[in-house]
Amino acid sequence: MPAMLEVEGLSFRYPESRRKAVSDFGLRVEEGEIVVLAGPSGCGKSTLLRAVNGLVPHMYSGDYSGDVRVAGRSVKATDMRELAQTVGFLFQNPENQIFMFSVERDVAFGLENLGVPRPEMRARVDEALRLLGVEPLAQRAPHELSDGQKQRVALAGVIAMRPKLVILDEPTSLLDPKTASELVGLVARLRKELGTTFLIVEHRLDLLVGVADRMVVMSEGRKVLDGTPADVLLGEEAEGYGVAVPSITRLQKALAREGLVSGSRVMTSAELAAAVEGPGGI
């Protein structure tokens, strides 16, 4: 069975640029995985995401080599309309992906475009509103929503199309800490209830340590690290690539060097506290 996402030897250079935005990149994501993609700004994360949902090369042309396959189908050979039903894309700024005057009509936007019959559309819109917990907002206008609500509504519009793979491009960058962690909880729930695969670009790794199956680090268009959150965050290289290793994890590493804690997984603050309180601890 093909993986949900297979990227093989992908290189892409924008026409106006001399440097490749993505260079000889490979990645395999299995169905139902939550993969976090990290790396400094300008490292090619956004281009990679756009190559997965087809905006590259269908909307942005350039020097393209290698192959990207989603659920076994080549992105390059599949047109945007079909890709839109397999890959959902939540953009950084929710404001710019809400088109209609009311929440429910916006959630229906993708389905209207696909020509889904009205009764089925109604059911799918209601389901998406329920899954994202935005049913009470169904009749609101976009300008009456908070940023967190807008992000949820935008995600509801993506989920209503029932994509197998959902891409989130820095989904929490405009959210306050509480709303951001709620969004992460939502991602975990959607994976559990729908079996959706997630590819998430995020700088605030502390939020995602608990739910991510894998972390991939990019630098200058290449993949430099790929492993479990523990592999990446407890290793020595991540910080060198500008990855924001959570401070609790840095503490865990420091304590491990002193021999005060052991273990090969990333601990939460509570786990770390319990570990150092035990016999042999501080």
Partner 1 sequence: MMWLSSGFLFRSGKSFYHRIDPRVKLLCSILMFVCAIIARFVYEIAIVVAFVLGVAAAAKALRRVGRTVAFTSLFSVLIFGLNFFVTRDLESSVLYAARFVGIVVSTSLFFVTTSPDELEQVMKTFRLPRDIVFAFVTAVRFVPVLMLDAMQIMDAQKSRGLEMQKGNVLRRIRSMVPVLVPLVVTSVVRSGELAEAMESRAYGAVPRPTSLVQYRARAADKVVAVAALLLFALTAYSFYVVLPPLGL
Q: Is 81 in the site for partner 1 (CB under 8 A)?
A: yes
Quote the least distance from Cβ 8 to partner 1, whole Å: 23
Three-class SS of residue 223?
Answer: strand
Cα 253 to Cα 247: distance, rounded to the nearest angstrom: 10
Residue 29 or residue 103: which is nearer to partner 1 going by CB? 103
Given the DSSP bridges, would you call strands 73-74 and 87-90 parallel, antiparallel or unpaired?
unpaired
Three-class SS of residue 13?
Answer: strand
Q: Is 117 in the site for partner 1 (CB under 8 A)?
A: yes
Q: Is 239 in the site for partner 1 (CB under 8 A)?
A: no
Q: In what order do the strands lie in the sheet with 34-38?
A: 87-90, 165-169, 197-201, 34-38, 214-219, 222-227
> Residue type for 52, please?
V
Three-class SS of residue 275?
Answer: helix
Q: Which stretch binds partner 1 (CB under 8 A): 92-100, 208-216, 219-227, 237-245?
A: 92-100
**In the structure encoding, which two tokens stand for residue 116, read together?**
């889904």
Residue 111 or residue 261: which is nearer to partner 1 going by CB? 111
Q: Applying CB under 8 A, which of residues 4, 158, 209, 255 lies at the interface with partner 1? A: 158
What distance, in Å, lies between the first and last C-alpha atoms of the chain? 50
Q: Applying CB under 8 A, which of residues 9, 42, 59, 247 lies at the interface with partner 1? A: 59
Q: Is 118 in the site for partner 1 (CB under 8 A)?
A: yes
Which residues sit at the interface with partner 1, rule CB under 8 A?
50, 53-55, 58-59, 80-81, 84-85, 87-89, 91, 93, 95-102, 104-105, 108-118, 121-122, 125, 142-143, 157-158, 161
